Each structure stands twice: as structure tokens, then as C-alpha cells.
Chains A and B, each alone.
Chain A
Amino acid sequence: MGYQGGWIQRLLRSGSGHGGTLLGFAIAAGLLSLPALVFGADVAPAAPTEYRDIPYVGSRNVIWVVAQLHLLLAGFVLGVPMFAWVCEVVAWRGGEKRYDKLAKEFTKLLTSAYSTTALFGGILLFLLIAFYPKLMNYLTDIFFPSFIVYCILFLVETATLYLYWYGWDAMQYGGKKTFHIFLGLMLNVFAFFIMIIPNSWATFQSSPVVIAEGTDMARAWAATWNPTWWPVNIHRIIANVVLGGYICGAYAGIRYLSAKTPEERDHYDWMGYVGNFIGVFGLLALPFAGYWLMREIYQYNQQMGITLMGGFLSWLFILQAMLIGVLFLGSNYYFWLGITYRIPGSALKYRKPMLAMLVVLLLCLAVWMTPHSLVASLEEAAKMGGSHHPLLGVLGVMSAKMTVSNLMILVTFMSFIMYWRAGKQDTAGWAKIAKAIMGAILVLAGVAVIILGVWGYFVPAIIRINYFSTSQVLIVIGVMLTITPLTALLMKSAKTTTEMAWGKMPPRAGYSLVLNAIMVILLMTLMGYARSSSRVHWHVYGVVRDTSQYAFSPALGYASGIMALCTFFFCMIVAFIFWVATMGDKAKAVSASPSKGELPHGMPAMAGASSALDAPKAPKF
């Protein structure tokens, strides 16, 4: 560097010797701007530019990372308002102010993340125009009308968010509160449309509907209503709730770990619980939406369906199973920790049900993670008669996967019900019958799901997909819709035997919340790669071919590296956003803290909140 600096200075001095500081500056500026020429390096003078590249990194990698970060940020920004608004409504109707405080805290994170999302959207747009001018020209030609709608929606969404956030304290009571709730609703409505419009552009690339004739509006409309648009819309709405919930949970987990007062510990323990609950709530529905999406993709094009589910991308679904498995285990673990730590004396009582649920979860996970084509050495493959195990190979197909995912959902739901009921004693006369009915429903549902799963091997694929898998989903939904109100009724008259003690969770509860958030982010980066790669060498499947040097699918190992990088960047961005968002609170806390020499009321707990509670003797409350 030192050598280079001297060289530039000498150049500037040579210019001044001839009376030209300006000339020297111009030469130096010209030399410094040389790297910019690479953007046009492969441009033929006469033909329009189709692609531009960036040296060393590669244009595709840059787009990949920026698009993924934008999508993750957007998922958070669109997911959080949904449950922030629900929390506000709960506080408004039920009168519990802590829900209003929680909703405000969620929205505080949202406002900081919103501008970053827009910033990444802008960067992505500029980079796409710069690197893929031919493709962007094509997409603009088709989607121009929706671009306009999108811009208007963005303006309206921004204005609504400003009003919603800055008007929070001013609109707390009476008619103003009602108006604030209305603003929250509109925020979600606009956010929904802001999500589905870009979804139409992305899904068009995978399953294009191109009509040659008609007005701009007719062409745009036809392209928008492509076969995978609604499946992706539904899948993303749910995924956004899951992402938002788990990230808020991770935020609460970190704040809990660094909490210095009992009040902070109580609040962030509770917030972590709510975040995990929201994440789990979405997670229960996500596999259904994913299944529907894959079905539509397969039906749209057999090649794309097999590339994803049976071809070279099928390994991604084994990775997906691992990540979802960790997520299910992590969420259940958090529930179980909640039972044993927040409800003193319940550790022994619930150990057996926990063991039973854990065994079912692990067995299901083992099935979900068993691939159809196994990784084996030549010797092992020869013994198996190929890469397909004669006995365990049957676990590698959708009938088995769908069955175990439904069972895992059932177990996680029961985990929540167990948490709900812990520390309470039924007083209703019909409690025994209700519990017997709930037990019977659960067992029958589990048996029915397994029978349908096994039967699915012996019927035509279309029967399995359209009827059996759908029935499995309906059975699980039916269980939830029956047991939830029954439990709610029982809880209404139940006597609380042990009060829920917030702020008593061990450090690993906070870490498990962070782990869950990282799993979700990794999952989204994984599925982002799967969706893009399923188009193989097409920008727009079957319509606009990728003729760049990057018209190949990156290897899975390489792709995993980029996914990890995206996850790391996103976590850093989110950490920065949260740090900025909470800076004001910390300043307020410092100004309100006791004067020097006076001890604070809360006991500082170093990165562990209540690690002392890991001692075998639980503290008295």
C-alpha cells in the first residue's frame, strides 16, 4: 500500500511540475476509476449488453447474497406486524397492558428493520439492472403495470407505519385507540400486497404464463396469476410469521441473558415465550403449505418437480429435514424447560410424558432424515444392491415424510397443551370425561395418520396426494380445533396450584431461542437456493435462457457456503438493527438508574440471567 501511495503522489507531483495540479488529479482519477471498466469488459460494441460481471466475486454471488438478505429482512418486516397487531388487539380487548407494551416493542424492532429492508431492495434493484439488463428489460416489459402499483403501495405502507409507530402513545385511549388498531390492520393489508406483488415476479420466473397478445395490463395479469403464485404467497405469509416470531424470540433471549434486573428478566422471559409460541404456531402450519407448493411445482412441470424432490436438489430436503428437526426439538425443549423452571415442582411430574414425546419426535426425525438414495461407499452400495436400501428405502419417499411431519406437529401441539395445563388442577365435574375424550382423539388421530401413511404406498400417487395427504392434514387440524377449545374450557374453571414464575429460566433457554432463530434463517436461505436452482439454466423457465457464464447450478457444498454467509450477514444486520433500536432505552435506563454508590435493586447476572437456578435445589418463590 505504501508503495502504491508513493506512486500516486509522484504522479501528482509530475503533473504540478508542468503547471497542472488539475492534470495530475485528472490522471490519478482516471487510474483510480479503471476498475469501473470491468463492468463493461465483455460488451460487444454493437449489440445491447446482456450481462455485466464483477471480478473475483461474480455477479451471481452478489445478487444471491443481496437478494437473500432482502428477502430475509422483508420476511421479518412483513411477519412482525401481524403478531404485533394481534398483541395490540389482545391488550385492547382484554385490558392486559403488558401485551400493548409487547406490541410496541415488536413495532420498535420493525421500524428500524423497515428502512434497512427498503435499502436492500434498492441495492438489489440497481444490481439487477446493472448485471442482468436483458432479463430486467424483459421483466419490465411484462410487469410494468405492477411496478406502478408496487411503488404506490410502498408509499402508503411507509406512511401507515410512521403513523402507527409515532402515534402509538398519542393514540392510546378511546376512539383514537380504535383508529390506531385500524392503522395496524391497514399496515398488514398493505404489507400483504407488498409481499404478493414481488412474489408474482419471482414465481413467474419459475412457472411463467406468457401471452403474446393483449394490453399491458392483460399481459401483466396473466403473468401474475401463474401456477405457483398463490402457493408461494401462502407459504411465505406463514414463513414470515415463523421467522418474525423466532427472531423476536432470539431478541428476547439475548436481552434475557444480559438482563440486570428482575423486572427485565421477567419481561424478556415472557417475551421469549411469546416469540417461541408465535414461531411454533406458524411452524405447525408450514409443512402443509410447503407440501401444497411442491405439489403445484410438480404438477406444473415434471422436470422441475423431480429436480427438486428426486434429482440433484433432493439432498437439500434432507438438510431441510435436519434443520426443521432441530427447530421442532428446540421449540419443544423450550416448552419443557418452561414447565420445569417456571412451574416449580413439575419436573418429576412431567418427565415421563416428555420422554414419550421426545422418543416420538426422534423416531419421526429419523424417518424424515432418511434419504431415498443413501450416501454409501462402493462396498456398502454393493452390499445394499445400489444406493437404495431394500428395507429403509421405503422411508425415503413422500408418504413416510408426510406421515412423520404430521406426527411431529401433533406432538409439538401436545407439548404446548401440556405447558398450558401445567400448574393447574381441573375442578370441572366433566374434566375426567373431557381428558379421556382428548386422549382418545389424540391416539386415534395418530393411528389414523400412520394408517394413511402406510396405505399411501399401495394406492396410485394421485390418490395419496389428493386424498390421503390432505386427510392427514385435516386430521391434525381437526385435533387442534377440538383439543384447543376443550382445554380452554377446562382451564376456565381450573384452580392454579402453582403460579407461573417468570424470569427463572436457565441460560440455555435463551440460547435455544437464538438457535431456533438461526435454524429458521438457515432454512430460508436453503429454500431460497432450492427455488432459484430449480429453474436450472433458465432465467424464466422455458422462456428466457441464461446465456451468461453462470448458466449452471452451483454445487451443493459451494451453495451451503453462501447460505452460511447469508445467515451470518443477516444475523449481523439484525444485531445492528436491534442495537440501534434499543440504544434509546439503554440511555433512558442509565439516566433513571440509582446514583453512584447506591446499589441497584436487581442482581446483575452475567450472561445467564439466573444460572444459579441450575443448582439442583430449585429456589423458593
Chain B
Amino acid sequence: MGPIIKLILLNVVTYLILKFVLPNVPGSAPLPASLIFLYLLLTTSGFLILATVSAESKEEFWGPIQRFLVGDGIGGLQALRWVVLILFPLLVGWQTYNSTAVSDAPPGENRTIHPAPPGEYAGLSNPVPKTPETIQQGKGFYAAFCSPCHGGNFDGKGSAARGFNPPPANFADPTTIAMLQESYLFWRIKKGGVGLPIEGMPWKSAMPRWELELPDEWIWKIIMGEYDGAHQSPRTWE
């Protein structure tokens, strides 16, 4: 099997895995095209590196391509060569047109999930002492106000969660609240979705602005309850 066929096969197999196998792994979801493209780019780059690392492998890979393109000793493939030489620029032109033409498709979503908090929240620390009682109170408040969306198991699967897109945050996921300081959560709970900066796309969040309903002390207790219930710890520097 020639290296060109190997390259094509490698990309096809990689694509099939990314498109059809990986999404069906339990807990997974379909991959966006941008990520599939990125991985295919890496696969192709890797192949090209290996194919050109020695004179022999380079000749094996590039030699036939070069001979075909310059029409050197390709016999009956001359017609195919002309087809490729005409079609390839047209294909590039078509692709360029497609990627620059005005389209009615909505732009790709590029939402920042954890945008930077306003300066006044950055230095805050939880004023409520961390005791079993306050944590329990926080869990109680959480059950009353947060669990319908974020779930009784803190996993983002509350009874109302299915109605939202994007879904409520999963606190048990180690890449959500475990990455953040308590003051960050205080800001998010207090100001809600409408308080997000533009890169966080405030129009995409249904999180209520809880400062209208809850006193600050309750919010701080909810934060403690959330971390404890989700078995996570806030980011600290000590």
C-alpha cells in the first residue's frame, strides 16, 4: 500500500472515529466540526512529518505526486492530470467562496463560560464561618432555590433542567466550580445571567438575579453548601 493511500485511509478512519465512535461513548456527545477539523489537521501533519523524515520515505511519498503533477512518465494518466490541474484550483475557489460568501446561517457559538468577574467582586472572601451548621443551612437554601435547575445531586440535572439550553451548570464536574474562587460564585449567583459580560452572552443564560430575592449571607451559605454537596473545593491560595 502506497503512502498516499495510507494518508487517505488514516484520515478516513480518524474521521469515522471522531464522527461516529466517540459520540457514542457513554457520557459523550457529538463533536463540533471545528474540533474534528483540528484533529484531522494534526493527523495529516504527523503523517507528512514521518513521510519526509528521510530521503527514501520522502521519495516514496512525494515522488509519485511530483511525477504526476509534472506529467513525467505517467503514460495514460495524462488526461487525469489535466482534470486534477483544472479541478483543484476550482475546488479551492469554491471553498474560498463558501467560507466568505454572505450566509443566512447563524454565526458559530463562541461563548466564554467563565468570563472575568467585575473588579469589586474579585477580592471578596466568604464572611460566613464554615461550620457544619452553616453548610447545612446552605444546603437547605440550595434545595429550595437552586436544586430545581442544578439538581439535588448538584449535577445540573434538576427537574426543570431539560427546559434550558444551555443546561444548568453541573457542579460535580471538576472543571466548573472547582476551578473558581467563592467570590466568583457570589458574583454569578447575585447578578445572574443578565449580569454576565458580553463574551459570556447574557442572553443565553436563564440564571435568575438572586440579589433581588436573597440576602448576601444566604448566598454565601449556598456557596458553601454547593461545594460541600458536590464534593468539590473552591480555588484558594493558601
Contacts and interface: CB of A to CB of B under 8 A. Distances in A.
B117 A303 contact: yes
A392 B35 contact: yes
A312 B115 contact: yes
A411 interface: no
Contact of B46 (A362, A381, A388): A362
Interface string A379-397: 0111111111111111011
A377 B108 contact: yes
Interface string B27-70: 11111111100110011011001101111111110000000000
B233 interface: yes
Given A302-B122, A311-B114, A380-B32, A372 B175 contact: yes
Specify which of B28, B33, B106, B113 lies most central, judged by the most chain A CB atoms within 10 Å of its CB.
B113
Contacts of B106: 377-378
Nearest to A613: B55
B55 A302 contact: no
A310 B112 contact: yes
Interface stretch (A329-337, A577-585, A600-608): A329-337
Interface residues of A, number: 69
Contacts of A311: 112, 114-116, 199
B113 A375 contact: no
Q: Give the interface SS of chain B, mostly helix, strand, loop or mixed.
A: loop
Contacts of A358: 46, 49-50
Interface string B99-121: 00000011011111111111100
Given A336-B53, A387-B113, A303 B235 contact: no
Interface in A387-424: 387-394, 396-397
Contacts of A337: 53
A341 B55 contact: yes
Chain B interface size range? 35 or more
Given A354-B53, A375-B110, A359 B46 contact: yes
Interface stretch (A196-204, A262-270, A280-288, A458-466): A458-466
A553 to B, nearest CB: 10
Contacts of B183: 302
Interface string B210-238: 00000000000000000000000111111
B116 A383 contact: no
State the 3 A-B residue pairs at the shortest beta-carbon distance, nearest first.
Answer: A386-B166, A460-B233, A376-B32
Interface of A: 299, 301-304, 306-307, 310-312, 314-315, 329, 333, 336-337, 340-341, 347, 351, 354-355, 358-359, 361-362, 365-366, 369-370, 372-378, 380-394, 396-397, 457-462, 506, 508, 542, 613-618
Interface of B: 22, 25, 27-35, 38-39, 42-43, 45-46, 49-50, 52-60, 105-106, 108-119, 122-123, 165-167, 173-175, 178-179, 181, 183-184, 199, 233-238
7 contacts: A310-B112, A340-B54, A358-B50, A381-B111, A387-B166, A542-B119, A616-B59
